Amino acid sequence: MRNHAAWWRACLATLLIVYGNGAYSVAAGAEPQAAQAGPGFRVHVLVPHMSPAWFLNRSRLLLQDGHPAEAHQLAHAALALYPLSTELRLGAAFAAMQSGHCQFVGDYLAPLRSQPLSSDQQHRAEMVRMACGDRWRWEALIGMDAGYRPSLVDRQRDVTMPLQPGSQLHDLCVRLVPICNPGQPLVSRGQRESGIDLWNSLTVRALYRADADWDYDLDGILFQRRPSRPGFTGNGVILRAAAASRQTARWQVRIGGETGLSQFHQGRAELAVSQTHQRADVGVSFRHSAERHSRLGASHLKVRSRWLELARIRYDYSLTTAVTRRLTMSFGGAYERTRQSGAGQLPGSRTRETGVGLHWTGDRFAAHLTHRRRHEIFRDRLFFLAAPHRARTRTTNLDLMTGDAFQWMNLKVVLSFEY
């Protein structure tokens, strides 16, 4: 009786192995719905319970056995069952590349451009594109920003300057008492400069992705400001370049630079500002774990115009950690050193900045809430103050934006509030 039971279990195991190999061969060589087993004979194979992982594993085995065409057919059939699977699309693109059908790679990877991908998934997609000769990628981005600004020139309409004893202007008023009262503040009345800002921008981007240690980006940006009030228009052009190292499991380096030319009007022709700027930056990102990463960066900015010459060095650090699957929290700090000269008579300064942020991402909408504190110490005194002053600023920002709801038309809408 025991020998009979052992014999029966052996036969059952043999049948399962044969059936498994047969189902594997049929599914690997044809579509999951049906396969030709011989002349005039059709075998129907139903796969309602086969997961994307099953198809990926079978495709991998076929590639290892030297059957890339069959692996591509199987992955293509699997996408009909799971069209939203990112891993299946990456697997199908890799199998198409291995089988010499690069003409299908673009169709497999195109839907992934509007989806959030991990660094590993991005690397695999770029590797397939590079292997198929698509090292250059071109993008055109059109942007439009509109919003109310209390002052289009970023200054108060009416400026009140209390003259401190010992300041240059107070000493001048003491000597010119008949025309200047040192005990009264000076008030400068300005015209109304508030209005609606409308910014339009066009960015042409070239991305070079080769099978090397670095990726390169080149951006050309044209922007234009059209406010509701006449006489406050602005326009400019920016050329930007960046290089990023291949992201490893632990860190990534990014180096960038830009140069630009812009012109802004401030209500009167004699107040028009034409300026050039150059900027260079370097940053290192560290991945401490799957839920926590940080970034350390440094940048140098130079601005030249007939009113102002500015040089600024900035060092910043930020730490981002995941609280839940949809909610992340960030902490950051920065240090700036600024040197200014020119007709504007603005002193240089040293600045410390701290901030905290909450970032929530939903299926259709996302929200970012940030709060920053800025403490600025000026190196020289203003002409109406007796000593260098300090400025403390608190800024709160709330950004509401669309999620994946409009990705089918590559549209993102952002509503920003700042206090």
The 3-class secondary structure across the chain, one letter per residue, is CHHHHHHHHHHHHHHHHHHHHHHHHHHHHCCCCEEEEECCEEEECCCCCCCHHHHHHHHHHHHHCCCHHHHHHHHHHHHHHCCCCHHHHHHHHHHHHHCCCHHHHHHHHHHHHHCCCCHHHHHHHHHHHHHCCCCEEEEEEEEEEEEEECCCCCCCCEEEECCCCCCHHHHHHHHCCCCCCCCCCEEEECCCCCEEEEEEEEEEEEEECCCCCEEEEEEEEEEEECCCCCCCCEEEEEEEEEEEECCCCCEEEEEEEEEEEEEECCCCHHHCEEEEEEEEEEEEEEECCCCEEEEEEEEEEEEEECCCEEEEEEEEEEEEEECCCCEEEEEEEEEEEEEEECCCCCCCEEEEEEEEEEEEECCCEEEEEEEEEEEEEECCCCCCCCCCCEEEEEEEEEEEEECCCCHHHCCCCEEEEEC
| pLDDT of 31 | 37
| pLDDT of 178 | 79
Contact (Cβ atoms closer than 8 angstroms) between residue 299 and residue 311: no
How far apart CA 115 and CA 6 sit, in angstroms, is 53
| pLDDT of 204 | 96
How far apart CA 102 and CA 93 sit, in angstroms, is 8
Low-confidence ranges of the chain (pLDDT < 70): 1-49, 114, 134, 156-157, 211, 344-345, 404-410
| pLDDT of 32 | 38
| pLDDT of 343 | 72
58 CB burial (10 A radius; 0-12, 13-18, 19+): buried
| pLDDT of 41 | 31
| pLDDT of 11 | 40
- Name the pTM for this structure: 0.68
Show the domains of the chain with their CATH numbers: 24-134 (1.25.40)
| pLDDT of 25 | 37
Contact (Cβ atoms closer than 8 angstroms) between residue 89 and residue 112: yes
| pLDDT of 392 | 96
Q: Which residue has the tokens 């940053």?
A: 283
